[in-house]
Amino acid sequence: MAKHLGLRVVAEGVETREQADFLIASACDTLQGYLFSRPMPVDDWFAQQDATKTFSNQTYHFIAKV
């Protein structure tokens, strides 16, 4: 529904690869959760943005080893 309204979709609380795969297949714009990283100070988060990967014309942030 959000896509039809022109909104970006953010999935919070992603903890498993299966959840991430489902959300990616469902065209979710952004994923966040313990699968990618534990909470961290914003300065550390910005420093980790070099780990950005692009898949299927969408950008996902993989901060931790999966």
Residue 52: what pLDDT? 54
Res. 63: pLDDT tops 80: no
Contact 62, 53 (CB under 8 A): yes
Tell me the pLDDT tens digit for each residue of 6-39: 999 999 999 999 999 999 999 999 999 999 888 8
Q: Count the Cβ atoms, other than its own, within 10 Å of residue 7.
A: 10
Instruction: Look at 26-30, 38-42, 43-47, 52-56 and tell me which has the smallest mean pLDDT.
Output: 52-56
What letter represents residue 12's amino acid? E
Q: Which are the contacts of 22, defined by CB distance < 8 A and separation ≥ 6?
A: none
More confident residue, 43 or 15: 15
